[in-house]
Amino acid sequence: MKGCAVVFAVTAVASLCTLGTTVHAQVDTVKSDTASYGRTPWEYRPYNRFEKAYKEFFLDVLEYHGYGRHIPEPEHVETVKIGFVGPIIGSVSESLGGPEDIVLRVNQRQIRWDGYQASHLAPLGIKMLQGARLAVEQANARGGYRGRIPYQLVIRNDNGNWRSSGREVITLAYQDSVWAILGTVDGANSHIAIRAALKAEIVVMNTADTDPTFVETAIPWVFRNITDDRQMCYLLADFAFKKLRLQRVAALRAVNRYGRMSIDEFRDAATRLGNPFMVELEYQEGDTDFRPQLERIKSLDVDGVITYGNSRESALLLKQMRDMGMNQWFLGSDRMVTQEFRDIVGASHGNVAAGFPYDPTSTDPRYLRFAKEFRAKYGEDPETYAAHAYDGINMLIEAIERAGLNRALIRDELAAMKEYLGVTGPQEFDPVFSDRSPAVLAILRDGRFEFYSREEALSDKMDFGSPRTP
Amino acid sequence: MRRAFLIIVTCSFPMLDGWCQSDPPTPATGEPYVYTKWESFTTESTHGGLINDHIFYLEADGDSLWIGTEGGLVLYADGTWESWTEEDGLPWNVVMGIAKDPKTGDLWLALFGEGIARFSGGHFQHFTQMNSGLLNDVSYGIDVQGDYVWVASTAGISRYNQVTGEWAVFNEKHAPMEEVWTYNVSAHEDKVYFAVWGGGILEWDVATETWTDYVDPDREMEIDLYRDDGLIHVITTSASYVDNVLWAATYFGLSRYDGRDWRGYMDHDSGLPSNFINFALGRSGTSCYSATDKGLGVLADFTTDTWVTYARDSEDAATWTAHVIVEGQEVKTVPTDLDLPNHFVLSVVILGDDVWIGTGHGLARGIGKGYYEGLR
B364-376 pLDDT tens trace? 999 999 999 999 9
Residue A242 in domain:
yes
Rounded to two decimals, the ipTM of the complex is 0.92
CB contacts < 8 A, A to B, total 124
Residue A10 in domain:
no
Determine contact, residues A193/A213, Cβ cutoff 8 Å: no
Determine contact, residues B117/B111, Cβ cutoff 8 Å: yes
Q: What are φ and ψ of residue B81, in 5° steps? A: -115, 140
The verdict on B154 touching A (C-beta cutoff 8 Å) is yes
> How far apart (Å, rounded) are the C-alpha atoms in residues A440 and A227?
10
pLDDT in tens, A257-286: 899 999 999 999 999 999 999 999 999 988
> How far apart (Å, rounded) are the C-alpha atoms in residues A186 and B242?
38
Residue A222: pLDDT over 60: yes
Q: Which structural domain, as residue segments, surrounds residue A342?
A: 230-356+439-458
B230 backbone φψ class: left, alpha, beta (φ>0; ψ -120 to 50): left
Nearest-CB residue to A167 (from B137, B179, B226): B137
The pLDDT assigned to A123 comes to 85
Query: By C-alpha distance, which of A418, A421, A423 is closest to A434?
Result: A418
Chain B interface, best mutation among A199, A256, A264, A271, by max B CB count within 10 A = A199
Read off the pLDDT band of B146 (50, 70, 90): very high
Whether residues A238 and A152 fall in one domain: no
Whether residues A75 and A218 fall in one domain: yes
The pLDDT assigned to A99 comes to 38
Average pLDDT over residues B276-298: 98
Whether residues A221 and A234 fall in one domain: no
Read off the pLDDT band of A159 (50, 70, 90): low
Average pLDDT over residues A288-304: 97
Whether residues A196 and A234 fall in one domain: no
Whether residues A313 and A443 fall in one domain: yes
> How far apart (Å, rounded) are the C-alpha atoms in residues B202 and B170?
11
Query: Which residues in chain B are contacts of A65 at CB distance < 8 A?
Result: 274, 293-294, 342-344
Residue A217 in domain:
yes
Chain A interface, best mutation among B129, B135, B138, B231, by max A CB count within 10 A = B138
Whether residues A207 and A251 fall in one domain: no
The verdict on B217 touching A (C-beta cutoff 8 Å) is no
The number of folded domains in chain A is: 2
Query: Which residues in chain A are contacts of B276 at CB distance < 8 A?
Result: 218
Helix (H, G, I), strand (E, B) or coil at B247: strand
Whether residues A339 and A397 fall in one domain: no
Whether residues A223 and A95 fall in one domain: yes
Residue A434 in domain:
no
Nearest-CB residue to A166 (from B138, B218, B227): B138
Query: Which residues in chain B are contacts of A54 at CB distance < 8 A?
Result: 223-227
The residue ranges of DSSP E strands in B31-94, in sequence order, are 38-41, 55-61, 64-69, 72-77, 80-84
Read off the pLDDT band of A16 (50, 70, 90): very low
Angle of the A122-141 helix axis to the A365-378 helix axis, nearest 10: 110
Measure in Å the smallest separation between the Cα of B358 and chain A Cα atoms: 12
Q: DSSP letters along A316-372, please?
A: HHHHHHHHTT--SEEEE-GGG-SHHHHHHHTT---SEEEEESS-TT---HHHHHHHH
Residue A56 in domain:
no
Residue A117 in domain:
yes
Q: Please, what's the b/e burial string for A196-225 (b: 16 or more CB within 10 A of its CB; e: otherwise)?
A: bbbbbbbbbbbbbbbbbbbbbbbbbbbbbb
Q: Do B276 and A58 touch (CB under 8 A)?
A: no
Nearest-CB residue to B344 (from A66, A167, A199): A66
> How far apart (Å, rounded) are the C-alpha atoms in residues A38 and A26?
21
pLDDT in tens, A27-78: 333 334 457 899 999 999 999 999 999 999 999 999 999 999 999 999 999 9
DSSP character at residue B248: E
The pLDDT assigned to B328 comes to 94
Share of chain A above pLDDT 90, in %: 78
Query: By C-alpha distance, which of A435, A434, A391, A439 is closest to A218?
Result: A434
The pLDDT assigned to A463 comes to 85
Query: By C-alpha distance, which of B204, B197, B213 is closest to B155?
Result: B197
Read off the pLDDT band of A467 (50, 70, 90): low
Measure in Å the smallest separation between the Cα of A454 and chain B Cα atoms: 24
Measure in Å the smallest separation between the Cα of A406 and chain B Cα atoms: 15
Residue A465 in domain:
no
Determine contact, residues B74/B67, Cβ cutoff 8 Å: yes
Query: Which residues in chain A are contacts of B225 at CB distance < 8 A?
Result: 46-47, 51, 53-54
The pLDDT assigned to A88 comes to 85
Whether residues A157 and A182 fall in one domain: yes
The rounded mean pLDDT for chain B is: 93
Q: Do A65 and B293 touch (CB under 8 A)?
A: yes
CATH number of residue A282's parent domain: 3.40.50.2300
**In whole angstroms, how far apart are CA A119 and each of A87, A161, A172, A194, B291?**
8, 11, 22, 21, 40
The pLDDT assigned to A188 comes to 87
Q: Do A54 and B221 touch (CB under 8 A)?
A: no
Whether residues A295 and A383 fall in one domain: no
Residue A174 in domain:
yes
User: In chain A, which residue's Cα lies nearest the Cα of B220?
Assistant: A46
Query: Which residues in chain B are contacts of A70 at CB distance < 8 A?
Result: 341-342, 361
The verdict on B174 touching A (C-beta cutoff 8 Å) is no
The rounded mean pLDDT for chain A is: 87
Nearest-CB residue to A37 (from B135, B222, B233): B222
End-to-end CA distance of chain B: 25
Whether residues A235 and A204 fall in one domain: no
Average pLDDT over residues A322-338: 96
User: In chain B, which residue's Cα lies nearest the Cα of A40?
Assistant: B222
The pLDDT assigned to B357 comes to 98
The verdict on B317 touching A (C-beta cutoff 8 Å) is no
Nearest-CB residue to A166 (from B53, B136, B360): B136
Whether residues A352 and A374 fall in one domain: no
